[in-house]
Structure 1
Amino acid sequence: MDRLTPLPDLVVSGRRLVTPDGVRPGHVLINDGRIIAVTGPGRVPAAAGHLDAGAHYVLPGLIDSHVHFRTPGLTYKEDWEHGSRAAVRGGVTTVMDMPNTVPPTLDPQALSDKARMVRGRSLVDMRFHIGVDPARPWLLADLDPSVATSAKVFMAGHHTAPTVVRDPAVLEQAFTAAAEAGVQLVLHAEDDGLFALLDGWWGEPDGYRDYERRRPRTGGIVAVAKVVELVRRHGTRAHILHLSSAEEADLVCAAQAAGYPVTFEVTGHHLSFTDEDTRRLGARTRLSPSIRSQADQDRLWRALAHGQLATLGSDHAPHTVAEKTRSAAASPPGLPGVQELAVAVWTGMRRRWPEEDPDVAVSRLVRHLAQTPAELFRLPGKGRIAPGADADLVFFAPDTPWMYSAHDVESKCGWSAYEGWTFTGRVERTLRAGRTVWDASSGTFGTYDGRLLAAAGDGPRPAALAAREGMT
């Protein structure tokens, strides 16, 4: 440290700091919520506070870029207090919330209203994906990056997706506007018309053994092919959410090899469950897109092994027990997952690849749950343990086995599809901006002071599409 560097007010020490340069011993020096230096394992610098992680890994705070915290309008099944407690207990310190609320967040005023509702009620930092309004897709061209830098497109409908883009011309307008504005599109890529055609033939499902057949892989394959073609034509940055099948993964990987700016997310539940679990567990793993076969799951694990996926996400989408115990036709898709995401994926990694060096494995987890989402969504100060970054840190015990039960669930819905699982790996402490927001040893949380993150350094967006014919 030089004379111009402020003295730390907190030092975090550990034998396994997961940094951009690898796993190493040392100290993280923190002042006013930011990392001011990362030093070697020598003498601990003087500071007002000191935390020793010992042999636990010290990870950067994890980022879940796909959550539904249900504010506004649906807070009877989740809210920011409960959702953010679930997040930090799972090592997540930053979330990106989706727009399908009541009302949906389709414009800057709606996002501002949501931010006001959330203020003082969150343990985590946050960014909001704005929704693409099918009636006004050109609004993306004027999107101010201080409001949002990403926009969600629903290409298929379900119980909580009221703003589905069904018209191919409207979808093309959204891709054009997003390309001109530099907005990252995130997409629920299933084909609504294909599902409507099948529904007209099959009728309503009468049980979960038939669920996947009525929401089949072809819906995703057709939609992903459309996205790839639109990316090819317009150069739009597109991120496909909760990709579920082997064919979709192959399509996106081929597009990436051809130089297209398209990436994809895999969820913890698509890595954890198969269609056999849906037949057994019913509504608990009823999802959109569906949980698919063992062969599909194996392909998604290979995508993680080879770094083909960009992000891991939870698609945290709680519903009440009463909602999930409706008939197979009426039960909404979705499950809580932000709390379980990191430990579920880590457990799967250790079971599938037991011989892998744990330092290599944990670095992979950090790459897809911290580093890459921070880069993809332009989250300043997030995703790394390095000078200048926010002091968001996680103490992770990699070898601790423990049984997960309903008593552990922090989500307001009160249930989890992972109940009864024995996880390997446990989050022992989570810090956001240098303050402890979860301490497993005492079972206590910190204070609600999460902040809304603005994008860095992009400047105002052009009003390039405002004068286009038929769009004024």
Structure 2
Amino acid sequence: MPDTLIVNARLVNEGREFDGDLRISGDRIAGIGSGLSARGGETVIDANGRRLLPGMIDDQVHFREPGLEYKADIATESAAAVAGGLTSFMDMPNTRPPTLDAGALEDKYRRAAGRSRANFGFYMGASNDNLDAIRAIDPRATPGVKVFMGASTGNMLVDDPQVLDGIFRESPVTIITHCEDTPMIDANVAAFQAKYGDDIPVECHPDIRSREACIKSTRLAISLARRHDSRLHVLHISTADELALFERGPLIRADGSRKRITAETCVHFTRFDRGDYARLGNLIKCNPAIKDASDREAIIAALADDVLDVLATDHAPHTLEEKAKPYAQAPSGLPLVQYALVAALELVHEGKLSTTQVVQKFAHAPAQLFDVAERGFLREGNFADLVLIDDTPFTVRREDVLSKCAWSPFEGTTFHSRIASTWVNGQLAWDGSKLVGEPVGSRLAFAR
């Protein structure tokens, strides 16, 4: 492939926005500067002042492979991801079979090789009976171990106190948690069934998957992490109440140390609230639940204040047929990767975040938290994972959705920025209107 020179860009990186040029040579960023001169045979792209960002790293997706490929697979969802400016992803273990040992983990890496358009990492999962497999994890093989401390599918609800204690005591990698208290949720379900029978309104979802269930489980995870000095990352914070449990301040402190306990939220918690159930129903049913407008505003403020460290998607597609079922039978989760970055950039247009903050939460922080080697930043020598932003409005249409489920909760929404180009490992993967070339996603390396 010929080298590429991007000129007249507005580069956004490590807390700064500055005008400059960037050269791609092979799969790497070969130069960053001002007034870089084109070389013979080099492709020159004039950014015309548009923002050039490091490719986003989504540390929380469910691409459904293996076992649920009728909903989604690595090929289709990674295509949607690069169309959305997400150049790397970390996939969850609740597949069929679940990723509960080294063999299942490597099987997923084999499946992604040559098929994924984005770079890929896969989590090991925890269950009540795989503590030996967790002890044996190679830290270079996975970003972390996922613990469902709440309702989940298959054999992945960890509710044995001794096993939980053992995971937090002995895991050689970061522990990431889904925090909801199952007994509280089960009691809420029973109460709402007694009131509504089989016709529970979807508007009750945030009361069934209640804030109290989130708070109780999050407190438990934090107490275990403090007891054992574990590296804990709490996923998809959905309530204002939980924010007080986390440390305010930059992920990397002034002395170079990192927070030991970190938290993230997801794009849908910044764009939707309880009032949207009347319009979207099961399409925004997810776990934990989208809650009140006051929670949404508090979450956005916590991103700006460095209480929440990471912004992710929790991309979890289901078919429209599944979502059309009554509330109790409709599965939880929604597809998000294709429009997550432009949805986050709406917060910039609204004056609630800066572009540098979006890049910190969606690119730098995941790379730092999970020790992702040579990605997540615009740095000479890093892999050339890049996204060019065009501040031209567009409206989301169902026919443009690339996820296999073929729908988006953002249909009909007008965003004020679009993805003009995405490069993965130095190669153009999305040209603003279509996918380009063959899949070139690589296995993520964890520098541990």
Using the size of structure 2 for normalisation, the TM-score is: 0.93
Q: Let me know the Cα RMSD of the aligned residues.
A: 2.2
Q: Which residue of 1 aligns with 2:344?
A: 345
Q: How does 1:1-16 map to 2 (within 5 A)?
A: 9-16=3-10
1:362: Cα distance to partner?
1.2
C-alpha distance in structure 2 between counterparts of 1:33 and 1:42, whole Å: 19
Partners of 2:295 and 2:427 in 1: CA distance: 40
Which of the residues 100, 103, 106 maps onto 2:100?
A: 106
Q: CA deviation at 1:310?
A: 1.2
Query: For 1:283, what is the secondary structure of its paired residue?
Result: helix
- CA separation in 2, counterparts of 1:45 and 1:233? 57
Q: Distance in 1 between matches of 2:120 and 2:283?
A: 27
Determine helix, strand or coil for the equivalent of 1:172. Answer: helix
CA deviation after TM superposition for structure 1 residue 56, in Å: 1.1
Q: Is the 8 A contact 1:138 1:173 kept in 2?
A: no
Q: Which amino acid in 1 is paired with 2:162?
A: A
1:123 and 1:446 in contact (8 A); partners too: no
**Distance change >3 Å, CA 22–CA 46, structure 1 → 2:** farther
1:407 aligns with 2:399: yes
Check whether the contact 2:23–2:29 (CA below 8 A) recurs between aligned residues: yes
1:186 is matched with: 176
User: Is 1:438 matched up with 2:430?
Assistant: yes
**What is the 5 A alignment of 1:47-66?**
48-66=42-60
Distance verdict in 2 for CA 1:16–1:418, change over 3 Å? same
* 1:138-217 mapped onto 2 (5 Å cutoff): 138-158=132-152, 160=153, 162-178=155-171, 181=172, 183-203=173-193, 206-217=200-211
Helix, strand or coil for the counterpart of 2:374?
A: coil
| Corresponding residue for residue 394 of structure 1 | 387
Give the CA deviation at 1:145. 1.8
Q: Which residue of 1 aligns with 2:409?
A: 417
Aligned with 1:428: secondary structure? strand
Shift in Å, 1:21: 6.4
C-alpha separation between the residues in 2 aligned to 1:21 and 1:46?
A: 34
Q: Establish whether residue 450 from structure 1 lines up as the match of residue 444 from structure 2.
A: no
Contact between 1:374 and 1:382, CA under 8 Å: does it hold in 2? yes
Gaps of 5+ in 1: 1-7, 459-472
Alignment partners' CA distance in 2, 1:282 and 1:113: 36
**In the alignment, residue 55 of structure 1 is paired with which amino acid?**
G
1:47 Cα shift? 5.1
CA displacement at 1:304 relative to structure 2: 1.4
Shift of 1:449: 2.3
1:43 is displaced (CA, Å) by 3.4
Deviation, 1:212, is 1.7
On the 8 A contact 2:315/2:335 being kept in 1, the answer is yes
Offset of residue 171 of structure 1? 1.0
246-255 vs 383-392, greater mean Cα deviation: 246-255
Runs of 4+ in structure 1 off by over 4 angstroms are 254-257
Q: One-letter code of the match for 2:328? A: A
Q: How many Å separate the matches in 1 of 2:136 and 2:26?
A: 35
**Residues in 2 aligned to 1:311 and 1:448: alpha-carbon distance in whole angstroms:** 27
Q: Which amino acid aligns with 1:347?
A: E
Q: Percent identity?
A: 36
Q: Are 1:40 and 2:34 an aligned pair?
A: yes
Larger deviation, residues 135-144 vs 183-192: 135-144
Corresponding residue of 1:116 = 110
The more displaced of 201-210 and 446-455 is: 201-210
CA contact 2:180–2:215 (8 Å) conserved in 1 = yes
Cα displacement string for residues 243-294 of structure 1 (whole angstroms, at most 9, x for unaligned residues): 000111111237999x961111110101110011123311001010010001
1:244-259 aligned at under 5 Å gives the runs 244-253=238-247
CA separation of 1:350/1:150 partners in 2, compared to 1, >3 Å: closer, same or farther?
A: same
| CA distance in 1 between partners of 2:247 and 2:14 (Å) | 25
Return the letter of the residue paired with 2:339.
E
1: CA distance, partners of 2:23 / 2:335: 35
Q: Which residue identity does 1:170 align to in structure 2? A: V
- In structure 1, what is the equivalent of residue 85 of structure 2? 91
Q: Give, in angstroms, the shift of residue 27 of structure 1.
A: 2.0
Unpaired runs of at least 5, structure 2? 252-257
CA contact (8 A) 1:30 1:36 kept: yes
Task: Give the C-alpha shift of residue 439 in structure 1.
Answer: 0.5
Moved more, 318-327 or 260-269: 260-269
Cα 1:444–1:255 shift into 2, 3 Å: closer
2 CA distance for matches of 1:344 and 1:19?
19
The equivalent of 1:136 in structure 2 is 130
> 1:341-386: per-residue Cα shift (whole Å, max 9, x none)?
1111111332254xx7xxxx11111111111110101111111111
1:275 equivalent in structure 2: 274
Matches within 5 A, 1:330-369: 330-353=329-352, 361-369=354-362
Kept in 1: contact 2:165–2:224 (CA 8 A): yes
* Offset, 1:316: 0.4
Question: Do 1:138 and 1:177's aligned partners in 2 also have CA atoms closer than 8 Å?
Answer: no
Moved more, 168-177 or 97-106: 168-177
